[in-house]
Structure 1
Amino acid sequence: MVQTSADVARDRSRTRKTEVLAGLLGGAGDAELPIVVAWLSGEIPQGRLGVGWRSLSKAAPVPASEPSLEVAQVDTAFSALASANGPGSTRRRADILASMFGAATEPEQRFLVALLTGELRQGALAGVMTDAIAKANGQALTAVRRAHMLTGSLPETAALARAGADALSGVGLEVGRAVAPMLATPADDLDAALGLLGADLVVDYKLDGARIQVHRNGDEIAVYTRTLREVTANVPDLVEVVARLPCDSVILDGETLMLADDGRPRSFQDTMSRFGSGPTAADDAERLLKPFFFDCLHLDGDDLIDRPLSDRLAAIDSIAPHLRIPAVTRPTPEEARRHFDAALADGHEGVMVKSLDGRYVAGRRGKAWQKVKPTHTFDLVVLAAEWGSGRRTGWLSNLHLGARDPDTGEAIMVGKTFKGLTDELLQWQTAEFPKHETRRDSHTVYLRPEIVVEIELDGAQRSSRYPGGVALRFARVVRYRPDKTPAQADSIEAIRALLK
Structure 2
Amino acid sequence: MNFAELVAASAEVGSTRSRKAKTETLASVLQRLEPDEIEPAVAWLAGELRQGRIGTGWRTLMGAEGVPASEPTLTVAAVEAVFEELAGLSGAGSVLRRRELLDGLFALATADERAFVIRLLTGDLRQGALLGVMTEAVAAAAGLPIEPVRRAYMLSGVLPTTAAAALRGGLAELAEFRLEVGRAVQPMLASPAESLADALAELGGDVSVEFKLDGARIQVHRNGDEVRIFTRSLREITSTVPELVSLVRSLPCSSVVLDGETLALTDAGRPRPFQETMSRFGADEGDSILLPYFFDCLHLDGKDLLDEPLEVRLEALKVAAPDNRIPSVQRPSPEEAAGQLDAAMSGGHEGVMVKALDGPYAAGRRGKSWQKVKPVHTIDLVVLGAEWGYGRRTGYLSNLHLGARDPNGGEPIMVGKTFKGMTDKLLAWQTEEFPKYERSRDDHTVYLRPEIVVEIELDGVQTSRRYPGGVALRFARVLRYRPDKDAGQADTIDTLRALLVR
User: Normalising by structure 1, what TM-score?
Assistant: 0.97
Q: Aligned match of 2:29 in 24, 28, 31?
A: 24
| Contact in 2 for aligned 1:121/1:409 (Cα 8 Å) | no
1:166 pairs, out of 169, 172, 197, with 172
Inter-partner Cα distance in structure 2 for 1:449 and 1:429: 15
The aligned residue for residue 217 of structure 2 is 211
Distance in 2 (alpha carbons) for counterparts of 1:115 and 1:442: 27
Most deviating of 409-418 and 303-312:
409-418
Shift of 1:446: 1.0
Letter in 1 for 2:374: K
- Aligned pairs for 1:91-102 (under 5 A) are 91-102=96-107
Offset from partner CA, 1:248-285 (integer Å, 9 cap, x none): 110000000001111100000100001221325xx4xx
* 2:373 alignment counterpart: 372
Distance 1:164 1:472 in 2: 44
Alignment equivalent of 1:107, drawn from 104, 112, 115: 112
The size of the alignment, in residue pairs, is 495
Q: CA deviation at 1:123?
A: 8.2
Q: Give the corresponding residue for 2:311.
A: 310
1:176 paired residue among 182, 188, 200:
182
Contact in 2 for aligned 1:40/1:124 (Cα 8 Å): no
Q: Residue 490 of structure 1 corresponds to which residue in structure 2? A: 491
- Corresponding position of 2:334: 333
Distance in structure 1 (CA, Å) of the matches to 2:390 and 2:135: 47
Match of 1:43 among 40, 44, 48: 48
SS of the aligned residue for 2:135 comes to helix
Question: Separation in 1 of the partners of 2:440 and 2:172?
Answer: 50
Separation of aligned partners in 1, 2:17 and 2:397:
33
Between the aligned partners of 1:435 and 1:159, the Cα distance in structure 2 is 34
SS of the aligned residue for 1:97 comes to helix
1:479–1:290 distance in 2 versus 1, CA, 3 Å: same
Q: Which amino acid aligns with 2:309?
A: P
**Alpha-carbon deviation of 1:124?**
7.1
Look up the SS of the partner of 1:31 in the other structure. helix
CA-CA distance at 1:444 after TM superposition: 1.1
Q: Larger deviation: 60-69 or 262-271?
A: 60-69
Counterpart in 1 of 2:346?
345
Indicate conservation of the 8 Å contact 1:9/1:121, yes or no.
no
1:259 alignment partner in structure 2: 265
| Alpha-carbon distance in 2 for matches of 1:311, 1:119 | 43
Runs of 5+ unmatched residues, structure 1: none
SS of residue in 1 equivalent to 2:12: helix
Task: In structure 2, give the amino acid aligned to 1:405.
Answer: D
Shift of 1:61: 2.5
> Structure 2 unaligned runs (5+)?
1-5
Q: Which residue of 1 aligns with 2:88?
A: 83
Do residues 225 (structure 1) and 226 (structure 2) align? no
Give the superposition deviation at 1:219.
1.2
**Conserved? CA contact 2:212–2:349, under 8 Å:** yes
Counterpart in the other structure of 1:453: 454
CA contact (8 A) 1:123 1:410 kept: no
Alignment partners' CA distance in 1, 2:350 and 2:250: 29
Verify the 8 A CA contact 1:176 1:217 in the aligned structure 2. yes
Q: Which amino acid aligns with 1:110?
A: A
Alignment of 1:64-83 (within 5 A): 64-83=69-88
Give, in angstroms, the shift of residue 387 of structure 1. Answer: 0.9
In structure 1, how many angstroms separate the alpha carbons of the residues matched to 2:117 and 2:208? 48
Residue 391 in structure 1 maps to residue 392 in structure 2? yes
Task: Report the secondary structure of 1:164's partner residue.
Answer: helix
Q: Is 1:438 the equivalent of 2:444?
A: no
Which 4+ runs in 1 deviate beyond 4 A? 121-124
State the partner residue of 2:134.
129
Please say if residues 8 and 124 of structure 1, whose CA atoms lie closer than 8 Å, have aligned partners that are also in contact.
Answer: no
> 1:357 Cα shift?
0.5
Aligned-partner Cα distance in 1 for 2:285–2:75: 45
Q: C-alpha distance in 1, partners of 2:468/2:219? A: 37
Match 1:8 to one of 7, 10, 13: 13
CA distance, structure 1, for counterparts of residue 341 and residue 427 of structure 2? 33
Change (3 A) 1:301 1:409: farther
Letter in 1 for 2:277: T
CA separation of 1:288 and 1:365: change in aligned 2, threshold 3 A: same
- Alignment RMSD (CA, Å): 1.1
One-letter amino acid of the structure 1 residue matched with residue 260 of structure 2? G
Equivalent in 195, 199, 204 of residue 198 of structure 1: 204
Residue identity opposite 1:183 in structure 2: L
Structure 2 length-normalised TM: 0.97
* Contact kept? 1:409, 1:487, Cα under 8 Å: no
What SS does the aligned partner of 1:341 have? helix
Distance in 2 (CA, whole Å) between partners of 1:159 and 1:241 is 38
